[in-house]
């Protein structure tokens, strides 16, 4: 973070400073274990514990300043605020304002039901070739994680890439008001978190918040293939930069689009077009669906005036989308594991199943899908799990293992769809799935693990994959 006086921080967050007007020279942290000399520690109540309990640990680690929701007894400079989360966001907004005044900062916001983290990693690979770039650790994209990413910038930062997630309508608008993106990317509107939003139309309204708040000097990067995203063009003042699998009905010469898309166990290829120009895209990332994420990242690069040949080359350097996202693991014994169990939605799970079926047919290998619950679907849960069970049959997955009560509808649907019942098994726990797999896996098998975090399949994939 920028070097700032405690009084400057107090002014930014609307708090009252107690103690000396020290200079914060280190990072801003909400976890006392990450505090170093010169850090500012935000002590905030959480779902599991209360950060105020760890003030002593933060001081011992070298915290120069504490931001708290009550006056502290400890002898440490501290700022008292009514709400720590609101204060964190206010400080992030102030830091971005200061860097914009004295640097050359460009802010890119990325939202969508699927693909945010992969697209963020792609943008990091492209943009860091042109200047210091800051992007989220893992998937920090909520009211705490996004400001924490913003607070990592300094005067030298050239590009800031932000994931903008939401649990309810209004979340993305608040993050947009903090960061004021120069470029806003919307990838897809799907059923991810539909249970929290109340349906896909509410999800679409939430994802529209970022582009709605862009100015005429900004750029909205929109997915032409998703009708709900495409409709957002009418909700923004920003210049539109399109991406998709064609140039659109008007054959837009500025749009980026791709054809020749194919994916094998060695990676994914496509040809990227803009007008009469074309660039080969070769990625080690698995799955044809990741071409859309690549197109989004390349469209951002194009909107910023960066060289597209250099940008496509940068994408070839990425070894994986992210840990737990179509991550290829080869533990030996001729078995290949695809760990895609960091998170799951109906769209991403369907894409992963199609990718598994396509890649294994090309390679002449047996496909095994180990599927767990897709969380946060609300009233859509049974229907969407049922749909995936039927899809697994229709794309001819050879063996299906379904884990947990929340996913049982996948198994039931697969049994009902055809004679597939002999190749589908439901088990209650990840431990049971592990015992079953270790008894069945054979040379040449390709095993996909796909679920939301609640299922515990990511750690199972890593155990089977030897990670």
- pLDDT at res. 187: 96
In this model, does residue 179 exceed pLDDT 70? yes
In this model, does residue 333 exceed pLDDT 80? no
Q: How large is the average pLDDT for residues 340-351? A: 90
Tens of pLDDT, residues 236-270: 999 999 999 988 877 889 999 999 999 999 999 99
- pLDDT at res. 422: 60
Query: Picking from 78-82, 135-139, 156-160, which range would have the lowest pLDDT averaged per residue?
Result: 135-139
Tens of pLDDT, residues 431-467: 999 999 999 999 999 999 999 887 889 999 999 987 5
CB within 8 Å of 48: residues ≥ 6 apart = none
Assign a CATH topology to domain 327-465.
3.90.190
Q: Indicate yes or no: pTM above 0.75.
A: yes
- pLDDT at res. 252: 87
In this model, does residue 321 exceed pLDDT 90? no
Greater confidence (118 vs 250) lies with 118
Tens of pLDDT, residues 40-95: 999 998 777 888 999 999 999 999 999 999 999 999 999 999 999 999 999 999 99
pLDDT more than 90, % of the chain: 78
- pLDDT at res. 7: 98
- pLDDT at res. 202: 83
Tens of pLDDT, residues 349-378: 999 999 999 999 999 999 999 999 998 888
In this model, does residue 151 exceed pLDDT 90? yes
Greater confidence (146 vs 379) lies with 146
- pLDDT at res. 421: 57
Assign a CATH topology to domain 4-82.
3.40.1390
In this model, does residue 192 exceed pLDDT 60? no
Q: How large is the average pLDDT for residues 180-194? A: 84
Assign a CATH topology to domain 103-315.
3.40.1190
In this model, does residue 419 exceed pLDDT 70? no
In this model, does residue 114 exceed pLDDT 60? yes
Band of pLDDT at residue 330, cut at 50, 70 and 90: confident
CB-based contact 143:171 (threshold 8 Å):
yes
Q: How large is the average pLDDT for residues 393-417? A: 94
Q: How large is the average pLDDT for residues 96-112? A: 94
CATH 3.40.1190.10 residue ranges for the chain: 103-315
Q: How large is the average pLDDT for residues 376-394? A: 91
Band of pLDDT at residue 193, cut at 50, 70 and 90: low
- pLDDT at res. 439: 93
């Amino acid at each position: 973070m920028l070097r700032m006086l405690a009084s400057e921080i107090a002014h930014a967050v609307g708090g009252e400073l107690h103690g000396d007007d020290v200079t914060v020279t280190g990072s801003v942290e909400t976890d006392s274990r990450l505090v170093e000399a010169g850090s500012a520690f935000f002590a905030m109540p959480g779902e599991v514990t209360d950060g105020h309990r760890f003030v002593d640990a933060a001081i011992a680690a070298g915290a120069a300043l504490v931001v708290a929701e009550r006056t502290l007894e400890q002898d440490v400079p501290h700022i008292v605020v009514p709400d720590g989360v609101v204060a964190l966001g206010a400080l992030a907004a102030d830091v971005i304002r200061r860097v914009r005044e004295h640097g050359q900062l460009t802010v890119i916001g990325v939202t969508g039901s699927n693909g945010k983290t992969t697209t963020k990693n792609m943008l990091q690979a492209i943009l860091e070739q042109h200047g210091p770039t800051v992007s989220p650790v893992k998937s920090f994209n909520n009211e705490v994680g996004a400001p924490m990413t913003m607070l990592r910038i300094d005067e030298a930062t050239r590009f800031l890439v932000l994931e903008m997630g939401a649990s309810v309508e209004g979340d993305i608008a608040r993050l947009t008001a903090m960061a004021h993106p120069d470029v806003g990317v919307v990838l897809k509107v799907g059923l991810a978190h539909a249970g929290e939003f109340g349906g896909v139309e509410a999800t679409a309204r939430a994802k529209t918040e970022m582009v709605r708040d862009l100015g005429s000097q900004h750029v909205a990067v929109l997915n032409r293939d998703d009708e709900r995203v495409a409709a957002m063009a009418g909700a923004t003042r920003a210049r539109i930069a399109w991406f998709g699998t064609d140039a659109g009905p008007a054959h837009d010469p500025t749009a980026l689009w791709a054809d020749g898309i194919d994916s094998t166990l060695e990676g994914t290829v496509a040809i990227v077009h803009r007008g009469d120009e074309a660039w080969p895209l070769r990625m080690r990332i698995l799955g044809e669906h990741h071409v859309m994420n690549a197109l989004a990242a390349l469209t951002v690069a194009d909107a910023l005036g960066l060289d597209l040949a250099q940008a496509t080359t940068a994408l070839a350097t990425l070894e994986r989308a992210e840990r737990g996202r179509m991550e290829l693991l080869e533990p030996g014994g001729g078995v290949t594991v695809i760990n895609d169990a960091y998170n799951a939605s109906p769209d991403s799970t369907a894409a992963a199943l199609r990718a598994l079926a396509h890649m294994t047919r090309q390679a002449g290998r047996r496909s095994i899908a180990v599927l767990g619950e897709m969380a946060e679907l609300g009233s859509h849960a049974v229907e969407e799990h049922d749909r995936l069970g039927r899809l697994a049959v229709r794309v001819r997955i050879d063996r299906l293992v379904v884990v947990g009560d929340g996913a049982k509808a996948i198994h039931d649907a697969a049994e009902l769809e055809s004679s597939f019942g002999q190749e589908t098994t439901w088990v209650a726990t990840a431990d049971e799935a592990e015992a079953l797999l270790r008894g069945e896996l054979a040379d040449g098998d390709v095993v996909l693990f796909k679920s939301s975090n609640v299922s515990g399949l990511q750690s199972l994939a890593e155990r089977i994959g030897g990670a």
